[in-house]
Homo-oligomer: A and B are copies of this chain.
Amino acid sequence: MSAAAVLPAKLDGFVRTEFEDTCRRRFFYGLAFDPYGGTAGLYDMGPTMCYLKSNVLAFWRQHFVLEESMCEVDTTCLTPEEVFKASGHVTRFNDVMVRDTVTGECIRADKFLEEWSETQLAAADLPADRRDALLHLLHDAAGMNPAEIQAVLVREQIKSPKGNPFSEPFPFNLMFKTHIGPEGDRVGYLRPELAQGIILNFKRLLDSGNAQRMPFAGACIGSAFRNEIAPRSALIRVREFTLAEIEHFVNPNDKSHERFDRVRDVEVWAWPRERQAANEEPLRLKIGDAVARKTIDNETLGYFIGRVALFLEAIGVRHYRFRQHQSNEMAHYAQDCWDAELLTSYGWIECVGIADRSAFDLTQHSLASKKDLCAREEYPEPRVERRLQRQLTKGLIGKSFGKRAAEVMEYLNTAPAEACEAILAAHQAGQDATVKLCTGEVVITPAMVSFEYKDVKVTGYNYTPSVIEPSFGIGRILYCLLEQSYWVRRDGDAKNEKRAVFGFAPLVAPQKVAILPLMVKPELMAVVQALRDDLVLHGLSVRVDDSGATIGKKYARVDELGVPFAVTVDFEADGAVTLRERDSASQVRVPRTELVTVLQDLCRTMRPRDWASVQAAYPAQAAAADKE
């Protein structure tokens, strides 16, 4: 991993309007339902970005599912209400909203406060304590509840963007609601995350022979939906998006990771919560050291942070950092959480969340569904443990309590050890014991039950696994990759003309090869067609430009789409073609018979060939063509 000396504060020389113009003109993405004027927060992706997406997802499957032997599942977006009641989403999956009391406009409070504090921070000559207070507000806004937000609004006398008073802040549930079935009486929600669908398959995955052993991970790629209050920032805050999530199930008593050595030396920019609290900058950390110092809570969490870093580097992300959640940002059950943030013209954007969700979800679903969702740890050798044994005299209990007998037996069979010991103490003192049930008090005589501690042989124990979740916002990653890959070529003869280039790595490049005939003549077009079919047959995505444009113009067109390699075909007698690399614009002559292999090697997923070795192997060609 290449060590970046400094973490940049912004993307150098990035002009958003020019970038957006290229994206619009080549239809990378655009508002969905465009002829109807679009719908806020709903975007379509065009062909180039579709290829990019499917290449990124294919590599995600290779890097995580295949390499780590994860169990992928494909779960549904439609989710019945009881699932999100148990998980807490129905009551807690809210953003805090404020309403402009005059215009009625709905505004998301935390984002509004963040922007407000950034504006204040931009002022010159701020006193140090005021600056500190504003930085704290900027960092803390995301975790504030309505009352805390109201306090800030009052203290700072903040008005709406239109200068009107705000309503009191109130929670707004972000899930889309619908009804399932012809009777219309069954409430369902569109999932706002994939986690519950994977977690509810835990037992099937454990039992079906796909995993069997703990720990193991489930994985899922799919759509999720959030009814954002104020969608904005292009593909960053939208209402429908693709997630790729991993739920790694692990024994809470042992969060070590078998392959931790593979990431021990991976170095990342990390921003622990203490440094954020002290308004200090991120620092460079080795995963191994961070886990040893408990900066990162445990090995498994650290392992995934390392693997995420390797993933981001492989797909060509240049600027990223890992920010630890502050305590008030995390869900109350989460043990630790780190976000991979990617740099864009909108600032640092959270793209991957890596959270230790503890055993919360499985516990909640087990309680709500009354199903056993445990795993079992077998001891290497059976152990002898002292256990409380219960012996019930069912006939007597039945006779004594009639209809209430079942309740009494349920209680005696499941009451915690202390309660049993209290009964036992009464009985040993020669008294009956009185216990309080839901339906009132009952008297338990010594004849009804006996308790005894016995040594028993125990072969293992059941536990509810902890879940460590890396969750990838694919649309956000793609958008950040777009911004970070974008640059403008100004060399060549056309110095005044700016030419947009997307410098995608061959691994994820939407199309791998452009075929550019030097002239549009039937004989040449037959050669082009044959070459195209040959490359497609070998699984390489190809773009042919057989227009009458100059070769320089054709290069510019495919540079704009991020095509890494271009082949120009002419009538040369040497049986060779010109192969050009996008970023360097350097060219070599490659025999037609070797071309497919060279391109396959340059574009393959694992250990691709580098351009320098191709330059070393074949004669250079002057890059005159670019200037035409």
Residues on A close to B: CB < 8 A?
25-27, 30, 32-37, 39-40, 42-51, 53-54, 58, 61-62, 66-67, 69, 71-80, 82-83, 97, 104, 106, 172, 176-183, 188, 190, 197, 200-201, 203-205, 207-210, 222-223, 225, 227, 229, 239-240, 365-366, 368-369, 371, 373, 536-539, 541-542, 544, 557, 605-607
Contacts and interface: CB of A to CB of B under 8 A. Distances in A.
Contact of A61 (B54, B61, B83): B54
A200 B42 CA distance: 14
B239 A78 contact: yes
A555 B607 CA distance: 33
Contacts of A209: 25-26, 557
Contacts of A605: 539
A238 to B, nearest CB: 9
Contact of A180 (B47, B227, B536): B227
A221 B366 CA distance: 35
Nearest to A186: B39
Given A61-B54, A182-B172, A34 B74 contact: no
Given A35-B371, A46-B205, 13 more contacts: A27-B205, A32-B76, A40-B181, A44-B75, A44-B197, A66-B536, A77-B223, A78-B176, A78-B239, A97-B182, A104-B183, A178-B190, A539-B605
Q: Which of A67, A97, A373 has the most CB of B within 10 A?
A: A67
Given A46-B71, A201-B44, A541-B66, A39 B80 contact: yes
Given A27-B205, A78-B239, A208-B27, A51 B36 contact: no
A537 B606 contact: yes
In the A-B complex, the 9 residue pairs with the smallest Cβ-Cβ separation, listed nearest first, are: A27-B208, A35-B369, A45-B74, A106-B182, A50-B72, A35-B371, A47-B71, A176-B178, A42-B76
A524 B273 CA distance: 46
A79 B38 CA distance: 10
Q: Which of A32, A54, A179, A190 has the most CB of B within 10 A?
A: A32
B73 A46 contact: yes
Contact of A51 (B32, B37, B72): B72
Nearest to A209: B26
Contacts of A190: 178, 190
A384 to B, nearest CB: 27
A566 to B, nearest CB: 16
A163 to B, nearest CB: 21
Nearest to A39: B80
Q: Which of A35, A371, A557 has the most CB of B within 10 A?
A: A35
**Chain A binding surface, main DSSP class:** mixed
In the assembly, how many copies of this chain are there? 2
A479 to B, nearest CB: 13
Nearest to A79: B33
20 contacts: A25-B208, A32-B76, A33-B80, A34-B201, A34-B203, A35-B371, A36-B80, A36-B82, A36-B83, A39-B180, A44-B73, A46-B208, A47-B71, A47-B210, A50-B72, A54-B61, A67-B536, A77-B240, A178-B178, A223-B223
Contact of A210 (B27, B204, B222, B541): B27
B72 A47 contact: yes
A551 to B, nearest CB: 17
Contacts of A77: 77, 223, 225, 240
Nearest to A104: B183
Contact of A46 (B46, B210, B544): B210
B54 A73 contact: no
A541 B225 CA distance: 31
Given A67-B536, A83-B36, A371-B35, A73 B47 contact: yes
Contacts of A537: 606-607
A67 B207 CA distance: 41
A83 B31 CA distance: 14
Nearest to A53: B74
A200 B33 contact: yes
B180 A239 contact: yes
Given A34-B204, A82-B36, A74 B557 contact: no
A30 B66 contact: no
Contact of A35 (B48, B223, B365): B365
A46 B538 contact: no
A539 to B, nearest CB: 6
A106 B36 contact: no
A61 to B, nearest CB: 7
